[in-house]
Chain A
Amino acid sequence: MHPRSVLAIARKDAIDMLLNKSTLTLLIMPIVLAFLFLFVSKLVGGHVTNIVVYNPGQSRLVQVVSGTFDPMKVTEVNSPADVMAAFGPNGSKKDSAYDVGLVIPANFESTLQTGGHPQVGFYINENNVDPHLAQLLQAAIISYARQLASPQPPLALSTVTINPPAISNFGQVTGNTYGAIVLLISFMTGTSLMPGLLIEEKEKKTLRMLMVTPASFTDVVLGKLLVTLVYQLVLSLLALAIMGSFIGQVPLLLLYTLLGSCFSLALGLLFGGIFSTASTAGMVGGFLSLIYVVPALFIGPLGALFGNSAFGQAMKFVPTYYIADGAYNAIQNEGSLNGHLFDIGVVLGCTLALLAITSWVLRRQASVAAAI
């Protein structure tokens, strides 16, 4: 291997890919899709949080709570009974128009400051508010009270929760699922670009020119892998950034992004070795891009619904399922260590197996080419 030749080939291809309309389209596609999914995600998850408050003393506590939500709408009512009626008893199931309710006594702040213990009613509809967020809101209310009457426990907070979660915080979860799906779809780029780069050198007979320069065939392959990996990583990270998916376990998410990119390139390299025309490789690559789309549909909420079906079980034989699963769990900050190790192991193993097969195919081709 000659690093100078590898870098030269990567540099040339980096320019050439931007001048080629078809590769440029492939490069732009994940970004366009990310924006499309973001739009859909906003449509699905763009829920306006309705807050109902009884706040006769115009307490600033309402701003503390409402400031957590965007977008939100605050409705003021005239009595605590109106708030109670909107939610119903604790633990009940009710189709409420409101997501959060507050009953704040008059003179809330002044009562706290004079050492009193005012009682605040806090109502949560867990159909639309995640339990973790509800806990955070409770902590925010207590924290606000402590600012006014530190250090004693200043207020009595009574919490009423309705509609305990079946699928909680649907919008957020859906957004995270879309993040993982977009990441998976972005990997199609590497699988589609890589064979074209290699096959074009053969088709246009430029490979023959390269073989009489200091570059070796290994340098050519490595140069192409390098440039595609860089583009692939940039695109995947951009797609994740657009989807706002850099949350949860970010280092783990980055690891899945790197592993997924390597898997995508290994598969693309195999196509580049097997097929002799760019059109055939493109056709097969297009069909096989389903392995990036379909498994991604069996993670997150949809996975919970359909994961146990025969088709859902069959997806577990597709390596990309484990990229999607791992990435989704990393974004959601979920998954056990063993689960992540298993996902990483499967993806890494499959990538290495693909590279080994590709290496055998390319070596065989080189020996056949020399014999004819």
Chain B
Amino acid sequence: MEGRTVMATNDLMIEAIDLRRTFKNREAVAGVSFSVRRGEIFGLLGPNGAGKTTTIRMLTGQIVPTAGRATVAGCDVVKDHQRLKERIGVVPEDQNLYERLSARNNLNFSCWLYNLPESRAEEVLELVHLRERAKEPVRTFSNGMKQRLMIARALLHRPPMLFLDEPSRGLDPISAREVRGAIEELSREGVTILLTTHLLEEADQLCQRVAFITQGRIVANDTPRNLKLAHGQRTMVASLNGQAANGNGSGSFTEITLRMDNPDDQARLAQLMAEGKVQSVHSQEATLEEVFIEIAGVRPA
């Protein structure tokens, strides 16, 4: 029994227990408990000011929790602070690169800090497809390139745990897709990732599990699919031919939305199909955003 418990604990990259942080009289994080398994992409989702960044700052040792405890990659975030720094990579919310330095020099600087050979900088530049631009000052880069460079910097010392705070913030759709691609690639390589975002579609696409945080508290924690099944309404969209829908014989068609779990809607669909008025039917799952609104009572952003 004890052996099984130890194995399970070793499998956890993050274990936060009743983590709290108070700033003056305001409780930014009010007792957060969750765990992240090795190799998992875990999403901490919530609106601005919900406590996501404060939670990340506590987990990365930047600020000390007022109460509670947490271990990250086997290190206590308060007691093993220095060892923790060697085992995590952090991509913060704000872009904080040295803009006058080249991409290569930005990474070389991190190599010097972590006592790594400069050849490692070349490897990660290749990984984020920035080798061609390595000599150029970072100030000439697009937002997407800067974000990729920050991810490269966080990966330089091969940390088993990566924290990404709003990785797609301020990016155009193409850059955001590039960054998502990089995250998926890292996950495939076994890196555990905790990301915060208010883009629930992104979280749905990337995360194996998500936690909804609002007003400093986690209000839900599960896989996106389970959350949608538990809290969302499954619907069907039926396309009806125009005559059937509005009786004017114009040849156009109309869409109606029916709740799959509602007996009246089920009966209505059956009737429409029997009458031959349905052109097509497709099911529609609840979005994570709808689930969030349902659970938290607020929009995520």
Would you give the 0/1 interface string for A3-45, flagging 1 where the beta carbon is closer than 8 Å to chain B?
Answer: 0110111011001100110000000000000000000000000
Judging by beta carbons under 8 Å apart, are B85 and A214 in contact? yes
CB of B88, distance to nearest CB on chain A (Å): 7
- Asked if A206 lies at the interface with its beta carbon under 8 angstroms from chain B, I say yes
User: Could you say which of B97, B101, B114, B115 contacts A19, with CB atoms under 8 Å apart?
Assistant: B101
Q: Which of B37-45, B55-63, B279-287 contacts A (4 or more CB under 8 A)?
A: B55-63
Judging by beta carbons under 8 Å apart, are A4 and B115 in contact? yes
- Asked if B79 lies at the interface with its beta carbon under 8 angstroms from chain A, I say no
In the bound complex, residues from chain A placing their C-beta under 8 Å from that of B90 are 209, 212
Judging by beta carbons under 8 Å apart, are B92 and A208 in contact? yes
Q: How many residues of A contact B (CB 8 A)?
A: 25
Judging by beta carbons under 8 Å apart, are B85 and A7 in contact? no
Q: Which residue of B lies closest to A215 (CB)?
A: B113
- Asked if B105 lies at the interface with its beta carbon under 8 angstroms from chain A, I say yes
User: Could you say which of A20, A204, A209, A372 contacts B24, with CB atoms under 8 Å apart?
Assistant: A372
How far does the alpha carbon of A204 sit from the alpha carbon of B100 in the complex, in Å? 12
In the bound complex, residues from chain A placing their C-beta under 8 Å from that of B85 are 212-214
Would you give the 0/1 interface string for A199-238, flagging 1 where the beta carbon is closer than 8 Å to chain B?
Answer: 0000011101111111100000000000000000000000
How far does the alpha carbon of A246 sit from the alpha carbon of B101 in the complex, in Å? 37
- Asked if A371 lies at the interface with its beta carbon under 8 angstroms from chain B, I say yes
Judging by beta carbons under 8 Å apart, are B23 and A204 in contact? no
Q: Which residue of B lies closest to A214 (CB)?
A: B85
- Asked if B86 lies at the interface with its beta carbon under 8 angstroms from chain A, I say yes
Judging by beta carbons under 8 Å apart, are B23 and A372 in contact? yes
Judging by beta carbons under 8 Å apart, are A205 and B94 in contact? yes
In the bound complex, residues from chain A placing their C-beta under 8 Å from that of B64 are 370
User: Could you say which of B24, B62, B86 contacts A208, with CB atoms under 8 Å apart?
Assistant: B62
Judging by beta carbons under 8 Å apart, are A371 and B96 in contact? no
10 closest cross-chain pairs (CB), A and B = A8-B112, A205-B96, A19-B100, A12-B109, A212-B90, A206-B96, A8-B113, A213-B113, A209-B96, A205-B94
Q: CB within 8 Å of B: which residues of A? A: 4-5, 7-9, 11-12, 15-16, 19-20, 204-206, 208-215, 370-372
30 contacts between A and B (CB under 8 A): A7-B112, A8-B112, A8-B113, A12-B98, A12-B101, A12-B105, A12-B109, A16-B98, A16-B101, A19-B137, A20-B100, A204-B96, A204-B98, A205-B92, A206-B96, A208-B94, A208-B96, A209-B90, A209-B96, A211-B62, A212-B60, A212-B61, A212-B62, A212-B85, A213-B113, A213-B114, A214-B82, A214-B85, A215-B113, A371-B24
